Amino acid sequence: MVFEHSPKTRDWMKRVQAFMDEYIYPNESTLDAQMAAFGANRWQVPPILEELKEKAKAQGLWNLFLPESDFGAGLSNLEYAPLAEIMGRVLWSSEVFNCSAPDTGNMEVLVRYGSETQQERWLKPLLRGEIRSAFLMTEPEVASSDATNIQTSIIQEGDSYVINGRKWWSSGVLDPRCQVYIVMGKSDPNEAAYRQQTQILVPANTPGIKVVRHLNVFGFDDAPHGHAEVILDNVRVPAENVILGEGRGFEIAQGRLGPGRIHHCMRLIGMTERVLEMTVQRLMAREAFGSYLHEKSVWEQRIGEARVMINQARLLTLDAAYKMDTIGNKAARAEIAMIKVAAPRMARKIIDEAIQAFGGAGITDDFKLSYYYAQARTLSLADGPDEVHNRTIAKVEFAKHAPRPALAH
Amino acid sequence: MVFEHSPKTRDWMKRVQAFMDEYIYPNESTLDAQMAAFGANRWQVPPILEELKEKAKAQGLWNLFLPESDFGAGLSNLEYAPLAEIMGRVLWSSEVFNCSAPDTGNMEVLVRYGSETQQERWLKPLLRGEIRSAFLMTEPEVASSDATNIQTSIIQEGDSYVINGRKWWSSGVLDPRCQVYIVMGKSDPNEAAYRQQTQILVPANTPGIKVVRHLNVFGFDDAPHGHAEVILDNVRVPAENVILGEGRGFEIAQGRLGPGRIHHCMRLIGMTERVLEMTVQRLMAREAFGSYLHEKSVWEQRIGEARVMINQARLLTLDAAYKMDTIGNKAARAEIAMIKVAAPRMARKIIDEAIQAFGGAGITDDFKLSYYYAQARTLSLADGPDEVHNRTIAKVEFAKHAPRPALAH
Amino acid sequence: MVFEHSPKTRDWMKRVQAFMDEYIYPNESTLDAQMAAFGANRWQVPPILEELKEKAKAQGLWNLFLPESDFGAGLSNLEYAPLAEIMGRVLWSSEVFNCSAPDTGNMEVLVRYGSETQQERWLKPLLRGEIRSAFLMTEPEVASSDATNIQTSIIQEGDSYVINGRKWWSSGVLDPRCQVYIVMGKSDPNEAAYRQQTQILVPANTPGIKVVRHLNVFGFDDAPHGHAEVILDNVRVPAENVILGEGRGFEIAQGRLGPGRIHHCMRLIGMTERVLEMTVQRLMAREAFGSYLHEKSVWEQRIGEARVMINQARLLTLDAAYKMDTIGNKAARAEIAMIKVAAPRMARKIIDEAIQAFGGAGITDDFKLSYYYAQARTLSLADGPDEVHNRTIAKVEFAKHAPRPALAH
Amino acid sequence: MVFEHSPKTRDWMKRVQAFMDEYIYPNESTLDAQMAAFGANRWQVPPILEELKEKAKAQGLWNLFLPESDFGAGLSNLEYAPLAEIMGRVLWSSEVFNCSAPDTGNMEVLVRYGSETQQERWLKPLLRGEIRSAFLMTEPEVASSDATNIQTSIIQEGDSYVINGRKWWSSGVLDPRCQVYIVMGKSDPNEAAYRQQTQILVPANTPGIKVVRHLNVFGFDDAPHGHAEVILDNVRVPAENVILGEGRGFEIAQGRLGPGRIHHCMRLIGMTERVLEMTVQRLMAREAFGSYLHEKSVWEQRIGEARVMINQARLLTLDAAYKMDTIGNKAARAEIAMIKVAAPRMARKIIDEAIQAFGGAGITDDFKLSYYYAQARTLSLADGPDEVHNRTIAKVEFAKHAPRPALAH
């Protein structure tokens, strides 16, 4: 057991931190101003984002997220994790380093499972940050946390596949730079449960795609990235766009989600650290009923427990990253599930208490606390609700013991 | 102890319920559509609101909230409470019955403490629903939960008072019908703590008033009502606009807040009942992993506990209303504080679990759950944060025992 | 809605309170001393108990618990509830008023369902407080919360029934005055689920009964009442000892449990009120880090929330009592389930915080807090675990909506 | 970051585990039987304990707890931690390895601060496991969590110190092998707050020591170790018995508590792991309402969250051990405080849910769950209540920011 980062990691942390200090924090207000200047038409890219991407790429702070691959910076999950935490303090900053969802997950899928043609056409522009992508899995009509419920059909007709269905939470579709979707759907409902699904690449301009609307999250539109509802109406793509092969969509989905969860959790931890700092500063600046707020014992308790929760969540996430690196994503599935439950819960509690510390200011946009809350709340649902992850963890515990005979009734 | 409403109350409930069924529920989508049609300019009144107000007034379902007064319907707090619950199922409906905050609180203040002139000029149009009003108390620069922190100055100069300060969470200011504010501020910082404050009536068009911006609540603008930040820059009003007398602002504030809290809590209970119904329906309509969601024991537990929480909150709120009616707002201050802590907490938990039940749909606008959550979260801060109310309750408990000598150090 | 007790109830409360003040509180230490004097042989009745019973009986404070019956004092559940709360402040006091479990439940069963012979032989001595009784339902080998799991057999052989099985949590068996058990068991496993069970009266001295041991509750033996494990080995009793008829045991069990739960919950509330008082006194008497403990805001929050929880639990329990009185135990089953979940949870939280307030003293026997905790913790299991009650509540909620078609798979 | 133990540590773990498997688990019932055979006179040492100590010593599994010292096995805190976890599965086993409180803390004090004479007379027999010791700090009359409250006086008179006061929670005093106490008290109330206290060695047979009684913990006597209340009435010991010097008691106390907390927390984690295993086995063996308990989703959630909590607590504790080893106990004070808050809370929750899983069996002695609960509950108080530790953590957070000017009022 060693509870400090390696010199290599510490060096990367220093570089990312320096970039944050020089380019990201000073431009938080720039980005807000550029977004505000767009007025009602918010699905545009604020220029500062592309400017900063060039700077990050020039410094080699680029594609840091890809483990076991020559395409990225060659960092392990454990090495990348603290970098994601640093980025998480400014949510939009991960895009600057070409490390933002859902592109990261999509790139990973293409690195692992994409054909050479697919990699050439989609992966490389993504790696260069020239285009963006989306992942279409969740459906409004069914409980998508049980992947067997998915209804979108992906049916082969000659050299093509024809896709019909309705998806939502299709994050990034509204970004004008988004050029390709990975769509998951059912190719054969008569196959064994885990062989029914297929994943396929669909260019964003394919006829039959209809973007119905954007979805708000607690009133926030998350522009310019955003989340869309999309109808796929007889969308036809070449058969070669299938990833890995028909019926292997579930297998890809399993492989896809581990690293993304680490990233989400580490970013949440960074975001929450920032919130805790803001909270402490607020408490130390305000007085009521004869003393500063931070001198009141109820806040001592809350701050003490917040620190406990953050440190625990960070250690758990780093441990999961370590396990992914050493025993693989599949063997580490319980660890991945654990952080997916723990980190958003931790963040929600601490941000909620921050809101209480800030009073009325906590629910305005002034300190972004309500936006952070919305993000954290979303992550108890996105990539699977807590209930499904707890189920995964529990099943691993149960499996340590002898199986039970089926009940007679 | 009798745990059912009187025939009189049941009759009123029936009438309000019938109005809801006939006019409110069928027009929920109408109002949404009218608001949507306004586009970016959302500080307008959707016509359906004024139409429905006429119908409610015609049926005598009007000003139901005013206890012990000839101005309203003559209902006690206990009689009004279940009506507020019914209204709470559609948040905007309380305005249709001229029962919405902050007008209700302002009308109560004017009924109790207003001079005849003040009543003639402001109270009567408010009672008729012709104008709306705002209450300006909270300030961005200080912890306003400790009222002694308030900094806005209200200084007499000859026949006028001159007001300077910055207020926010001034709900209703942005409503085009809003014609008068009640402003609380300090008239004499050298007076005893509870004699420093004054409340004064300020016409909305008085020179020196600057509406800086509207405030979002978790990304929602709460239009057309909304919450504003307002600068008062040498705002001058006649001395006769002072309510009750200089230095009596704190006294008015105390009297004002009790009934408003009952209303808020009862509406929250109605809103949460609706959320629970929606949740149950959703659970019964969705399946995952081989059974309907409502058949899963984790949801049995949550629904069971939600019912316990709602019923407890309702009983506590009705008990507080009863105490207010029988022993008065001041003697019932602990009971009022209790519901102010309990009801929003209950609502937040149940709405949060509803969001979990709805999955991705829970955080969109489709079922308004995230909006309801924002409302409930706000109410753990508005009219005083939980911490201040718990302090009030605790002080009543401590007062049951002999006081302690001051510590030497 | 009326939130105060009737003059009749208030009069009863005054009488019970006066008895507590005159006879119970002054004898708490007497009883402790008498129990201590017994040494290792703790299954004896401390004489003070019988002395006080005579006094209570003489004052007519006797059998207060029996609703709708000529046998008792003729109080409704709602009228009895606040009396049970007063008794709950000294746990053993309810026996002084002949109002203690499991006798109360057994007497109710005999009043409602007992034959004249059974009433003559067992009910009347119980009503006079001459004997005590036990109820044998729970079994160590199965999850008894699902009554269909019960395995003890009660099989007719000629004019007798023969009973075989193992029971535990047989409270009162160890009391030397205990003369009769009501035993629940399976008479016909091939009947419909709710017709398989039978309840039968078994004299305590019947051959084949073997009291295996007493059971501690968190290290406490609960002497002299206590809880036993009992083997029934070919225990033979006359057929006339069956209550109500073979196969009707489940029906009796359902009817039995409602009032008992009200009693438990009201006593818990009384116990918790006392704990809250003790806590406040302790906080006001101790200082640390420069101020009295009650001046620290963390304790303001806890005391505030404790008061909220107690008042809510009391109102919910009184509401359940009211419903039982007005619509009957069966129609009020959700309300009964609600208090069974809410009251122990409330008590556990407040007692646990009291322990924290008392520090080391909280876990000793000095203030009985750990004993109270054990009692409250037990009540989240006894008479059915919380999970089963939440299930009951949830089923009532689900039943408000249209049933769902069975899933195909 | 490396999230696995070193080969050296793994080797020690294997050896301790093997000893547990061979000698401890098979003798759990032996020890229970020997204790039971003592009858009422429970302050005796069950022979199996001494037998097993010899075996452990022979295997070199002895004094494993002493970091940075030639006296013990030479393990760091991080290396010892997983061994303490393994021992924690059988609470009494740590004594077998001469690793049990309060001897461990007392030995550490003597190693660090004891004079050569003191080490010769007391440390060496303790290290050999020939005698046991006690630590007398907490007092019944004051909130001892604020050490400045301590009232016992330790006053020099010539070549002696005279001690007067009343202590409790003096663990181990009742053990017949206990031969020495370390007593903390006030030598000079006029000194600066942290120079008022002195620690002194008091032989157990010194005249003036009166053991008043033993203290139960949730009804358990913790025999043969136990906790005593002790009066010190003009107890006179030679001046050379002072440890480190008059006025340095607080300094010693600070140094003493860090490692002890690590040990407690790791043992708690081991105990809780065992409880989780027992829970899973129980859930998999019992059925209710048509399925095994472990198949019910509410238990999936609880087991999932239990695993998250345990793993988080373990990582946090190992991290604290690492920090103690690398930056020292003082610099790691926040980390030590964190585990002291987190580990007992984790254990309490999981054991409480285990009790719920076991139903009635959960609160008996059969599975020791209620005893484990009592142990875990105690540890939210012992060595300082959670509130004091949270205060420590919070102060470290506040210190990261600029200090605030004192408020004028």
| DSSP symbols for B170-238 | EETTTSTTEEEEEEEEES-TTS-GGGSEEEEEEETT-TTEEEEEE--BTTB--TTT-EEEEEEEEEEEE
Q: Report the distance separating Cα D77 and Cα D5, nearest Å.
A: 12
Q: Does residue B398 belong to the interface with chain C, where contact is any CB pair within 8 Å?
A: yes
DSSP-derived letter for residue D286 is -
Q: Which pLDDT value is given to residue D259?
A: 85
Is residue D407's pLDDT more than 80?
no
Is residue A35's pLDDT more than 60?
yes
Quick one: pLDDT band at residue B405, thresholds 50, 70, 90? Answer: confident
- Mark yes or no for CB contact D300/B298 under 8 Å: yes
Of A166, A46, A67, give the one whose Cα is nearest residue A111.
Answer: A67
**What average pLDDT does this structure show over D151-176?**
97
Quick one: pLDDT band at residue D404, thresholds 50, 70, 90? Answer: confident
Q: Report the distance separating Cα B264 and Cα B269, nearest Å.
A: 9
- Mark yes or no for CB contact C360/D140 under 8 Å: yes
Is residue D91's pLDDT more than 80?
yes
Q: Which residues of A touch D1 (CB under 8 A)?
A: 2-6, 9, 78, 318, 322
Q: Which residue of D has its CA nearest to A278?
A: D401
Tokens 């659970």, residue located: B283
**What average pLDDT does this structure show over C286-301?**
96
pLDDT tens digits, residue range B44-72? 999 999 999 999 999 999 999 988 778 88
Is residue A110's pLDDT more than 70?
yes
Is residue C409's pLDDT more than 60?
no
Q: Which pLDDT value is given to residue D409?
A: 54
Quick one: pLDDT band at residue C271, thresholds 50, 70, 90? Answer: very high
Q: Which of B284, B390, B396 to mutate to test the interface with C (most CBs of C within 10 A)?
A: B390
Quick one: pLDDT band at residue C255, thresholds 50, 70, 90? Answer: confident
Percent of chain D clearing pLDDT 70 (strictly above): 100
Q: Report the distance separating Cα B276 and Cα D246, nearest Å.
A: 66
In B36-65, the residues whose Cβ lies within 8 Å of chain A are: 39-40
Q: What is the dihedral of CA D71, D76, D82, D86, to 10 degrees?
A: 0
Q: Which pLDDT value is given to residue A255?
A: 75
Q: Which two tokens stand for residue A285?
A: 């600046």
Q: Which two tokens stand for residue B351?
A: 């709405």
User: What's the distance, Cα to Cα, between the start and end of chain C in Å?
Assistant: 49
Q: Which residue of C has its CA nearest to A298?
A: C298
**What average pLDDT does this structure show over D321-348?**
96
Q: Which residues of A touch B370 (CB under 8 A)?
A: 216-219, 374
Q: Which pLDDT value is given to residue C52?
A: 98
Task: Output phi, psi for C155, to 5 deg.
Answer: -115, 130
Q: What is the CA radius of gyration of chain C?
A: 22
β-strand partners of C181: C134, C202
Q: Which pLDDT value is given to residue A408?
A: 63
pLDDT tens digits, residue range B169-228? 999 999 999 999 999 999 999 999 889 999 999 999 999 999 999 999 999 999 998 999
Instruction: Give chain C's domains with CATH numbers.
Output: 7-127 (1.10.540.10), 132-247 (2.40.110.10), 250-398 (1.20.140.10)
Q: Report the distance separating Cα B125 and Cα B120, nearest Å.
A: 8
- Mark yes or no for CB contact B288/A146 under 8 Å: yes
Nearest CA to CA, how far is D351 from chain C (Å)? 12
Q: Which of B148, B286, B297 to mutate to test the interface with D (most CBs of D within 10 A)?
A: B297
Tokens 């006798």, residue located: C103
* Neighbour tally for A282: CB within 10 Å: 19
pLDDT tens digits, residue range B90-108? 999 999 999 999 999 999 9
**What average pLDDT does this structure show over A334-358?**
98
Q: Does residue C290 belong to the interface with chain B, where contact is any CB pair within 8 Å?
A: yes
Q: Does residue B301 belong to the interface with chain D, where contact is any CB pair within 8 Å?
A: yes
Q: Which pLDDT value is given to residue B115?
A: 97
In the B/C pair of chains, how many CB contacts fall below 8 A? 177
Is-contact A176 A145, C-beta < 8 A?
no
Q: Which pLDDT value is given to residue D258?
A: 79
- Mark yes or no for CB contact A304/D392 under 8 Å: yes
In the A/D pair of chains, how many CB contacts fall below 8 A? 177
Residue type for position C359: G
Task: Output phi, psi for A200, to 5 deg.
Answer: -145, 150
Nearest CA to CA, how far is C160 from chain A (Å)? 33
Q: Which residues of C touch D381 (CB under 8 A)?
A: 355-356, 359-360, 362-363
Q: Which of C294, C323, C387 sits opposite B398 (nearest CB)?
A: C294
pLDDT tens digits, residue range B262-280? 999 999 999 999 999 999 9
Find the length of chain B: 409
Q: Which pLDDT value is given to residue C363?
A: 96
For chain D, the average pLDDT equals 95
B222 Rama sector, left if φ>0, alpha if ψ -120 to 50, beta otherwise? left
Quick one: pLDDT band at residue A404, thresholds 50, 70, 90? Answer: confident
Q: Which of C148, C295, C298 to mutate to test the interface with A (most CBs of A within 10 A)?
A: C298
Task: Output phi, psi for C53, to 5 deg.
Answer: -60, -40
pLDDT tens digits, residue range A159-217? 999 999 999 999 999 999 999 999 999 999 999 988 999 999 999 999 999 999 999 99
Q: Of D71 and C166, which is predicted with more confidence?
A: C166
Is-contact A340 A389, C-beta < 8 A?
yes
Q: Which residues of C touch D359 (CB under 8 A)?
A: 143-145, 381, 385
Q: Which residues of A touch C298 (CB under 8 A)?
A: 296-298, 300-301
A248 Cα distance to chain centroid:
22
Q: Does residue D338 belong to the interface with chain A, where contact is any CB pair within 8 Å?
A: yes
Q: Does residue D291 belong to the interface with chain B, where contact is any CB pair within 8 Å?
A: no
Of C268, C174, C264, give the one whose Cα is nearest residue C215.
Answer: C174
Q: Which residue of A has its CA nearest to C299?
A: A298
Who's near C33: CB < 8 A, 6+ residues apart? none
Is residue A362's pLDDT more than 90?
yes
- Mark yes or no for CB contact A381/B365 under 8 Å: no
Q: Which pLDDT value is given to residue D408?
A: 62
Q: Which of D292, D299, D315 to mutate to test the interface with A (most CBs of A within 10 A)?
A: D315
- Mark yes or no for CB contact A374/B219 under 8 Å: yes
Neighbouring chains of C at 3+ CB pairs under 8 Å are A, B, D
Q: Does residue D303 belong to the interface with chain A, where contact is any CB pair within 8 Å?
A: yes
Quick one: pLDDT band at residue A409, thresholds 50, 70, 90? Answer: low
Q: Which two tokens stand for residue A215?
A: 């979805």
Please tell me chain B's helix, strand, coil percentages from 3-state DSSP, rounded to the nearest 5. 55, 15, 30
Residue type for position C405: P
Nearest CA to CA, how far is D98 from chain B (Å)? 45
Is residue C336's pLDDT more than 60?
yes
Q: Helix (H, G, I), strand (E, B), or coil: what is residue A179? A: strand
Q: Which of B277, B313, B389 sits opposite C304 (nearest CB)?
A: B389
Q: Report the distance separating Cα C290 and Cα C99, nearest Å.
A: 47
CA distances from D113 to B21, B119, D108, D242, D400 (A): 80, 80, 8, 10, 32
With b for 16 or more beta-carbon neighbours within 10 A and e for fewer, the D318-347 pattern comes to bbbbbbbbeeebeebbbbbbbbbbbbbbbb
pLDDT tens digits, residue range C121-162? 999 999 999 999 999 999 999 999 898 899 999 999 999 999
Nearest CA to CA, how far is C306 from chain B (Å)? 9
- Mark yes or no for CB contact C1/B318 under 8 Å: yes
Cβ-based burial of D406 (10 A; exposed 0-12, middle 13-18, buried ≥19): exposed
Q: Which residues of B touch A284 (CB under 8 A)?
A: none
For chain A, the average pLDDT equals 95
Is-contact C153 C105, C-beta < 8 A?
no
Q: Report the distance separating Cα C65 and Cα B135, nearest Å.
A: 53
Quick one: pLDDT band at residue C9, thresholds 50, 70, 90? Answer: very high
For chain B, the average pLDDT equals 95
